[in-house]
Amino acid sequence: MDQPAFSGFEPTLYNYKNEYGIIKVVDNGYGLYNSEIEYLSNGTVIMVDNGYGLYNSEIEYISNGTVISNSFNNALPFEPNNSTSKCGFSIPKVSYYNGFYYLIYAEYDCEYEYVLSLAKTTNPLDVKSWNFLGHVLTNIPIDIATILWATPENELANHYFFYAQYGTKINIAVSKDPLNWQILNKTILKPRDDHFDNIVFPGAMPLRLKTDDFLFIYGGRSDRFYTGWAILDANDPTNVVQRCENPLMTPTSWEGVESSITTLLPDPYGCPLDVANIIGTEYAYNAECFFGFYISDAGVGAVRVVSSWNNAHISTPNV
């Protein structure tokens, strides 16, 4: 888009209901961070914003593409402590799984050490209902992560936890229990010095495609922050089927040096009628559309992402 969807101090949320989350996040006026949101059955979505604390907000997405931001500014019951979070929280992400909304967020101790925390609730709009479950993978410092839940629909045997340690690479852990993860000796994405992503970090929660594979959105950094994508195998999401050569999104003039998608959901209204004009007639038949938010220096933007394939075009993975 050519202007921010949100800016200033308002935290906000977004809407759509399934295992995916939504995002809109702001800091105290000079920085915007990513968070994800979940759709509620009444057509509104809930989002968690961060700064020194964590806050609930709300976003409405209308079928004509209009986005409405309504600030709730309700503080969640997590206060910075004098050890792991004395300098506050960052990068909250919300996802829905098996009847619960899960919130994963980083605590910062002011000395460049982060620890990931996990909380859950059945009603994210009730700020007092969030229950802190504990810290995740406490033996290594992690500042950002995202989860792919195992569901009856995707038939995965384990949950997958994608995490980054200060942008060095994106690694994987697996589990059947959200609090206890087994780290795999495997890297899903490495930095590429000759591309836009010589620093990498996980972005939005992986999305299941028509092919049953997963669309994995990640952040990349070189001279600026960009959004990249990869396709993960349907049966084993630790295997990369394809990785982009060029960024999905590059910062525009109003966005400054950052343009990173943090939340992406299947568009509840489907693809627009003119999708062939967006992606090309040879890809229109298999097109599926997603809607989400991204962070920039100036504010939070809204974006539509269209995914498709054509059997005549085959790419080799570059991980």
The pLDDT value recorded for residue 317 is: 47
The low-confidence residues of the chain, meaning pLDDT below 70, are 1-90, 109-110, 112, 125, 166-167, 254-255, 297-300, 313-319
Q: What is the pTM of this model?
A: 0.81
74-124 pLDDT, tens digit each: 556 566 566 666 566 667 777 888 888 888 887 776 676 778 888 888 877
The pLDDT value recorded for residue 18 is: 33
- Phi then psi for residue 114, to 5 deg, are -115, 150
Of 239, 270, 291, nearest to 21 by C-alpha is: 291
Pairing status of strand 240-243 against strand 225-232: antiparallel
CA distance linking residue 314 with residue 27, whole number of Å: 42
Residues present in the chain in total = 319
Establish how many alpha carbons lie within 13 A of residue 2's alpha carbon, considering only the half-sphere containing its beta carbon.
0
CA distance linking residue 259 with residue 278, whole number of Å: 20
Question: Looking up tokens 């308002």, which residue turns up?
Answer: 10
- Domains for the chain: give ranges and CATH numbers: 37-303 (2.115.10.20)
Enter the tokens of residue 145. 């992560």
Given phi > 0 = left and psi -120 to 50 = alpha, else beta, which region is 99? left
